[in-house]
Each structure stands twice: as C-alpha cells, then as structure tokens.
Amino acid sequence: MERSRGLLIVLSGPSGVGKGTVCKELRRMMPQLSYSVSATTRSPREGEVDGINYFFKTREQFEQMIAQEALLEWAEYVGNYYGTPTSFVEQELDTGRDVILEIEVQGAMQVHQRFPEAIFIFLMPPDMLELRKRIEGRGTEKEELIAARLQKAREEIEMMENYHYAVMNDQVELACERIRAILTAEHCKVERIYPAYQAKLNETL
C-alpha cells in the first residue's frame, strides 16, 4: 500500500498543565513522531533553546509572519504571541509522518477550522489546586500573573467539548500511554485504511 498522509495531532490545555513535559516524553516513546516547533515573542525560560523549544521572535518579526500568512495558527496569550509555521507541518504530513502540535486553546480552535480532520486532544490537570502548584513551581511568575493564568485556565477548560479526546495529566507516563493508545486507534480506523487496501486487493485479482 502507498504510504498514507500523516496525522495532525493537536495537543492543548491550560498553561501549567504540563504540555511540554508530556510532549518530551512522547517523543522519547515515539521517535517517529514529528514535533512542530512553535514561534513566540515571549522570552526564553532557563534552558530553552531557539529553534528547539521555540522560534523566539520579536513582535515585529512575528507580525510580519502574520501579514505573510506564514502561520497555521497564531494567538496572543497573556501579552505574547504564539504561532505555528505552516510549511514544516505540511511537509511532514506529506511524507507520511504524524505531526504533533503543542499549542494553546486559542490556536487549536484556528487549526480546527483549517484542519477539521486533525486529532484534537485536551490535556487536563487533576484539579485547579494542582494546576496552581505547577504554575507556582516554575518560580518565574508573580502572583498577579498566576491569578490571570488560573482564570484563563477555567475559561479554556470550558472549551474541552470542542476536542475529540480528553487526557488527564496526573502522571506523565500514564498520560503519554493514553495518547499513544489514541493514535494507535486512529491509525486503525477503516476510513484511513480501506481506500488504499481496496486498491491493493484489486491488484491481486
């Protein structure tokens, strides 16, 4: 059978839920999974590397990308821009590789309009108290910003109904196993397999 086009997986959830940690573990478990690096105007956190964790841009550079329609999605979140360059995603999907996008909820809704066939997974915190602990644990944000992120998180959790799957991040390894099970099931869907398989059968008759 011909190699089918890859799946676009959109993983999002509230700030502090652990999207980056889950994606890092998924990449270790599934090295064939392509990770799309987002662009952002926020400052790098300790240990983050340009071109690996994010493409760090100035506001002027980012707004130029918006004007050139070079982004699959973009959003302004707590004073900073975030977005996904389109060209990389398209190239990877065309080679048959699955691509995972780790993005905020606003961006996921834009992708939903442009790629309705994508797989949308919402990563949930066990509860709001645990989410607050995780945000505070970063040690990078003042109380005022923490409160803003928690309020935003409540609004984002209410948008969970727009997703195909909800995965609780109570333990990173368990969350990754749940996501891997989702991808395995999606690849086994008849609508993905049957057209190419039918053509293969006809060749042998």
Q: pLDDT-derived band of residue 143, with 50, 70 and 90 as boundaries?
A: confident
Residue, of 205 and 58, whose pLDDT is higher: 58
**Domain locations in the chain?**
8-36+98-204
Residue 164 has pLDDT above 80, yes or no: yes
pLDDT on residue 202: 74
Pairing assessment for the beta strands 71-77 and 80-85 based on DSSP bridges: antiparallel
pLDDT at 114: 82
Burial of 163 (0-12, 13-18, 19+ CB in 10 A): buried
Residue 91's pLDDT is what?
87
For the stretch 106-130, what's the b/e string if a residue is b when 16 or more beta carbons lie within 10 angstroms of its beta carbon?
A: bbbbbbeeebeebbbbbbbbeeeee
Q: What is the mean pLDDT of the chain?
A: 88
Question: Which tens digits make up the pLDDT trace of 78-119?
Answer: 899 988 988 888 889 999 999 999 888 888 988 998 888 999
What is the rounded CA–CA span in Å between residue 114 and residue 67?
Answer: 17
| 55 contacts 37 by C-beta, under 8 angstroms | yes
pTM of the entire predicted model: 0.80
d(CA 125, CA 164): 17
Going across the sheet that includes 71-77, the strands are 54-56, 38-40, 80-85, 71-77
CATH 3.40.50.300 fits 8-36+98-204, yes or no: yes
pLDDT at 1: 43
Q: What is the pLDDT of residue 44?
A: 92
- Give the amino acid at 10: V
Q: Mean pLDDT, to the nearest integer, of 139-143?
A: 71
Average pLDDT score over residue span 122-143: 79
Range 15-21 average pLDDT: 87
